[in-house]
Amino acid sequence: MGNLSGREELRDNIPSENNYFAYIANVHADELELISQADSYNLSRLPVLRVTTSKNRPQGHCHHDSRRLPPTDFLPKHNASSHTMAEATLHNAPIVIDNGSGTIRAGFAGEEIPSCFFPSFVGRPKHPRVMAGGLEGDVFIGQRAQELRGLLKIRYPLEHGIVTDWDDMEKIWHYVYENELKTLPEEHPVLLTEPPLNPRKNRDVAAQIMFETFNVPALYTSIQAVLSLYASGRTTGVVLDSGDGVSHAVPVFEGFAIPNSIRRIDVAGRDVTEQLQLLLRKNGHVLHTSAEKEVVRMIKEKVCYVSLDPKREEKDWMNSYHKSEAKAVDYVLPDGHKIKIGQERYRAPEILFEPELIGLEYPGVHQIVQDAITRTDLDLRKSLYLNIVLSGGSTLCKNFPDRLMREIKRLAVEDMKIRISAPAERKYTTWIGGGILAGLSTFRKMWVSADEWHEDPEIIHRKFA
């Protein structure tokens, strides 16, 4: 397989029906490879996706084209006169919406990065309006909600991957279509993402809203971790996806998902934020409002790290004042005040590996990866150990891949070769994989059309894995 060169060539290369790897060839320059005994393993066999590096990423919450025209170059051309209008819309560029518990990523299939990326919360004013000509509107979403969060009561409609407020979820989708993508939902098929082992009702209501409220011509839902595997250029691997609401490990072998081996825990980034909020409160820093919780989230993303050896780290902090002072950092709050953050930096993210620290009877993220692999057939395990792929914002925490490698080596059979792939763009890989999948011409037969859904709503459970 030949390499592609440059972003233009990447866009212009059309994914064929038999080989989507032509579209996702090339190695990401920033990808981190953690290899155990890799000298006996040929890494060149594994193609991975080239995506935009962080230094080329547009600043801010959203990347906008000067014109919001969906990319349709890669789609086969059709004679619209030979189709009804409903059939013709099925050939428009699909829209991919990655519904994360903490962030929403959306854009057209064929784009290199999502067109919009913003926190998935809805803000409502918590103070009475006393002046005419002030802010208009009672609901704020996206960048505007971020800017005004001090005035707002913030609420996330998704908790642990499950929608708890469908009215707010619908408002977010309206905002995506009208304000960010600036397109009509009835003109484009849509691919939605979801965590594995989600309640059937979650998918039922999402399909009902998409077909009846937004009038989309076709719908597909896919497990987030499987899409991350698409983005990595692999057909075999176990994906550890840890975002804001859910952490799950999904093994896939040669394109076949292994449902009975999927493992999921409802411990992820939001729990780390809440733990950091509690630890800061114990240290005298009270940040309790919904807006201040967003400040805690930003503190977490900037200063927290995963300890490679928590017990030793605790001893170092307790026994050496000067060493602990050197590890403490100052964080400047939005009002200009500085707070010193010490042991909280590693104690908060430690709950990802030890959920019992917050009273939850879940295994750690390393354990669900190990469990997912050991529940597969014996013949598959070596390949899965060599293709562990990280995805989701929580895996971006400093030292996370190294700690995961250490823990899995401790749990696995002695001398087992282990390889962990941690792409630098793993915050977006679910969306990127969805864009690749939705752009394939062979994928069209996998859509569920509006007519099919109206005839039999249960089809979304039979057709979508």
Could you report the per-residue pLDDT of 306-364, keeping only the tens digit for each? 999 999 988 888 876 666 677 889 999 998 999 999 999 999 999 999 999 999 999 99
Q: Which CATH superfamily is domain 268-361 in?
A: ATPase, substrate binding domain, subdomain 4 (3.90.640.10)
Of residues 110 and 174, more confidence is placed in: 174
Residue 205 has pLDDT above 90, yes or no: yes
Question: Other CB atoms closer than 10 Å to residue 416's CB: what's the count?
Answer: 16
Q: pLDDT tens digit string along 220-256?
A: 999 999 999 989 999 899 999 999 999 999 999 988 8
Over residues 170-195, the mean pLDDT reads 96
Sheet holding 103-108, edge to edge: 116-119, 103-108, 95-99, 190-194, 218-223, 448-449
pTM of structure? 0.79
Which sign does the torsion angle of CA 405, 310, 358, 343 carry?
A: negative
Mean pLDDT for the stretch of residues 361-372: 97
Q: Provide the CATH topology of domain 6-121+156-265+425-463.
A: Nucleotidyltransferase; domain 5 (3.30.420)
The 10 Å Cβ neighbour count of residue 413 is 10
**Where does the pLDDT of residue 143 fall: very low under 50, low under 70, confident under 90, or very high at 90 and above?**
confident
What's the pLDDT score for residue 366? 98
Mean pLDDT, all residues of the chain: 82
Q: Residues 378-426: pLDDT tens digits?
A: 999 999 999 999 999 999 999 999 999 999 999 999 999 999 999 999 9
Q: How far is residue 411's CA from residue 344's CA, in Å, rounded to a whole number?
A: 27
User: Where in the chain is CATH 3.90.640.10?
Assistant: 268-361
Where do we find the tokens 């430690």? 350
- For the stretch 418-465, pLDDT in tens is 999 999 999 999 999 999 999 888 888 899 999 999 999 999 999 886
- The tens digit of pLDDT for each residue in 114-131 reads 999 999 999 999 887 766
Task: Give start-end residues of each CATH 3.30.420.40 domain in the chain.
Answer: 6-121+156-265+425-463
Q: What is the pLDDT of residue 321?
A: 64
